[in-house]
Amino acid sequence: MDYKERYLNWLENPSIDEATKEELRSIAGNETEIEERFFQDLEFGTAGLRGVIGAGTNRMNQYTVGKANQGLANYIIKKGKQDKGVAISFDSRHMSKEFTELSALILNANGIKTYVFETLHPTPMLSFAVRYYGCTAGIMITASHNPREYNGYKAYWSDGCQVSAPKDKEIIDEVNAVTDFNSIKKMDKAEAIKAGLYNIIPESFDDEYMKKVMEQSLNSDLVKSMAKDFTIVYTPLNGTGNIPVRRILSMVGFENVFVVPEQEMPDGDFTTVPYPNPEDPKAFEYAIKLAKEKNADIIVGTDPDADRMGPVVKNKDGSYSVISGNMAGALLADYVLSQRTEKGLMPKNPALIKTIVTSRMTNEIAKKYNTTVFDVLTGFKHIAGKIRQFDKTHDYNFVFGFEESFGYLSGDYVRDKDAVVATMLICELAALYKSRGLTLADGIEELYQKYGYFGDRVKSLTLTGLDGLEKIHKIMVELRKNQPKELGGIEIAAIGDYQTGDIMEIATGKVTKSDLPSSDVLQYTLADGSWICIRPSGTEPKIKIYTGTKADTMDAATALADKIEGGMLSIIDGIIG
């Protein structure tokens, strides 16, 4: 069935409601829009669903979300796990509340108990709820940091991690097997509540989560001693972080916390930013203005579902600088490892987990504190999966994990990145530096002095629509077919293709196998030790290019990264024109 047939089928299908059909009639004659909405089913991938809200098979709506839930329900029942229930949370995006209730009632109609947050709560709290209530699975309705037009559906399993192999593929198969919307069961809410299937998570649950976050604090006494002389500006970017972040900062002892008023309350339109993401410097325009008024020592922002945290540091001249996820992660890693070592809190066989595209400075930090580094694929579920492995083998103890895209976790009380604990820790670190008469900007220079100057960066090429998907696919195919010999004038020493698992040394032709799962990722190691990695984004219409260099000065490291990245961009331009 082609896209036009799918479109007409929805218009004629009696199971599609009239409001949806009216939306579809409004695009009649717009072939491009019809094709965008119907050229494929919105893919239930290894991270669940994510897409633009609207009518169509390639959109987030009650029918695509319903299909995902019926597929998940079928899988749970096949596994005989329906008695333990599913926890469900949501963020501030449009339709999040509606998709949450729909998800619960479909599961309830299949005899599966649900534990539902009545108000919006962050992703890490959903992960915590899954384990706290002993659930079989969890659902988070969020599109994370995507633009306002999006929403999404993330699935978790009983360990509090996003669903991983082989369960992810098995659930995908069950979702794809739901081909008739009439097969999606649904229950009346009042009946579900009366039957004990639809359960509201009480406010007391938040207390249990906060206790676990507070256990990760490393300098509460110092914070309290400086409370009146330390100022924080915080922005939840109109998402879920406002209440839990302010609460944990108060618990740890901070008193002067100012929230950006325009970005304080939940708002699915995200009217002050085009892209509600702490990775984007534009997200901090309002926060920086407020910070200058309050003479703030640090600015912190969290994304809509409060799993990503981005800090802005204060410079000696009173200006503010947005720093990268790699730099924030290096600061936090050094803080957690150094303070745990100094205070005698480091466990035996400590482990730090990072992704293959995360700064190599992390390796130098870990070496200093006798901590083993484990590299995993991009996506925090791979970090969580490694923590789960440690639970079984007991050979290492997880201390800290992060990915360059502003995702951090200290402690294993949740199994996903947590902006609440990351905010607490980065503010503690800023207070620690201020107690020494320094700023976090000084702290960054201290890291460079200790570990070297690392020119880490990530560049995203946005390629939207059907044409964009084809270009992204073409880039990866052509790079594999015609492997580059050099980048920026520097010879390539090794190529890692994580789709096949082959890592080849160019000089010898020797091939070793990666122990990581198959993924559409290419990584090039250059003769001087620099590296560059390219992969399609799993959540956005982008291809991402990561570059890492090291030199004696920041200017030299940056210039080297410019050359290598420029070489890759020239190749890509030649592929897609």
Nearest alpha-carbon partner for 253 in 201, 310, 214, 204: 214
The tokens describing 468, both together, are 């964009």
Angle at 247 between CA 246 and CA 252, to 5 degrees: 100
The catalytic residue among 92, 103, 144, 359 is 144
Cα Dmax for the chain:
70
d(CA 403, CA 142): 19
The dihedrals phi and psi of 89, each to the nearest 5 degrees, come to -135, 175
C-alpha distances out from residue 375 to 357, 519, 546, Å: 9, 14, 15
d(CA 398, CA 349): 9
Annotated active-site residue 537? The verdict is: no
Q: Where are the beta strands (DSSP E) in 81-143?
A: 86-90, 114-116, 137-141
Is 291 within 8 Å of 313 (Cβ atoms)?
Answer: no
Q: How many CA atoms lie within 13 A of 303 on its CB side?
A: 28
Is 441 within 8 Å of 299 (Cβ atoms)?
Answer: no
Number of H helices, E strands in the chain: 19, 25
d(CA 430, CA 564): 33
Q: What count of other Cβ atoms lies within 10 Å of the Cβ of residue 15?
A: 11
Is 126 within 8 Å of 413 (Cβ atoms)?
Answer: no
Angle at 134 between CA 210 and CA 140, to 5 degrees: 65
d(CA 461, CA 568): 12
**How many residues in the chain?**
577
Nearest alpha-carbon partner for 139 in 182, 96, 203, 186: 96
**Active site members:** 144
